[in-house]
Amino acid sequence: MLSHSIANIETNTAFAKARCPARPVDQFVNVMGLASLVATAFRYQKDEEIFGEDESTEYVYQVVRGAVRTYKLLSDGRRQIGSFHLPGDIFGLEYGPSHRLTAEALVETEVRLIQRRSLENAANVDVQVARSLWNVTAGELRHAEDHMLLLGCKTAMERVAAFLLEMDRRLAAASMVALPMCRRDIGDYLGLTLETVSRALSQLHDQHVLDFSGARQIVIRNRQRLRDISA
């Protein structure tokens, strides 16, 4: 529950239009508006938990600004990051009663929340809303299927190349990729250690496939080469 921090919440329906590039989920965003559902803005600081694994699903979330990681843990601390969520992305939508991954802010992050129950109600009346919910889940499944191929088959270098292309596609601004996550997060996403990620990036740098301006500001110099490497 968020009631203990209600002072931090500001109701804001205008946020909907901000920084949401054209994607399939826009339909869902529109639904949020059309159904006159109450969307609420909330801010999380770096590394703050947004929801926990097995927590009940009271809200559905959309990133407005910042970035989010969702992950599963094994009992000894090994972590698999399932996805990174960037501005415009919906996350935390579940069919069942509880979340199956933990969500944390990668950096200071602003999200819009909507009550899951109100979405349910809308979906029971409007088939288009029901379709939109299905669409969001189907999009996550598509990503998960691609990621299983990466985790089950690809080499370290192929994984890092695929990661860079994904980030380039999703958050490239002016040919520069500004990564919001550290090497450990990248490693836990790709099923590698942070050292292996670092070595692969260094190797790509040596081969003039990319340039750095600081460890997290990357310019891709040879996109086609990356595509070839990513297999």
Partner DNA sequence: CGACTTTTTGAAACGAGTCAAGTGCAGTGG
Partner DNA sequence: CCACTGCACTTGACTCGTTTCAAAAAGTCG
Chain residues binding a copy of itself by CB under 8 A are 72, 74-76, 78-80, 82, 94-96, 100-101, 123-125, 127, 130-131, 133-135, 137-142, 144-149, 151-154, 188, 190-191, 231
| Amino acid (one-letter) located at 62 | Q
Write down the least CB distance from residue 111 to DNA, Å.
21
* CA–CA distance, 39 with 115 (Å, rounded to integer): 8
Least distance (Å) between residue 124 CB and a copy of itself: 6
Of 136 and 209, nearer to a copy of itself (C-beta) is 136
The DSSP letter of residue 187 is H
Q: What character string, x for contact with DNA (CB under 7 A) and - otherwise, covers 165-204?
A: -----------------xxx------xxxxxxxxx-xx--
Residue 170, contacted partner among DNA, a copy of itself, none, CB below 5-8 A by kind:
none
- Per DSSP, 5 falls in state G
State how far the alpha carbon of 105 is from the alpha carbons of 11, 20, 23, 68, in Å: 20, 18, 22, 4
Rounded to a whole number of angstroms, the minimum distance from the CB of residue 201 to DNA is 5
Indicate whether 153 belongs to the interface with DNA (CB under 7 A): no
Distance CA 127, CA 72 (A): 32
Pairing status of strand 68-73 against strand 39-44:
unpaired
- Find, among 110, 119, 59, the residue nearest to 86 by Cα: 110
Give the count of beta carbons closer than 10 Å to the beta carbon of residue 117: 11
Of the pair 43, 154, the CB lying nearest a copy of itself is at 154
Question: Which of DNA, a copy of itself, none interacts with 172 (beta carbon under 5 to 8 A by kind)?
Answer: none
Q: How far apart are CA 217 and CA 162, in angstroms?
A: 17
Tokens of 53: 């694994």
CB of 45 to a copy of itself, least distance (A): 26
Given DNA, a copy of itself, none, residue 10, with its beta carbon under 5 to 8 Å by kind, binds none
The contact set with DNA (CB under 7 A) reads 155-157, 182-184, 191-199, 201-202, 212, 214-216
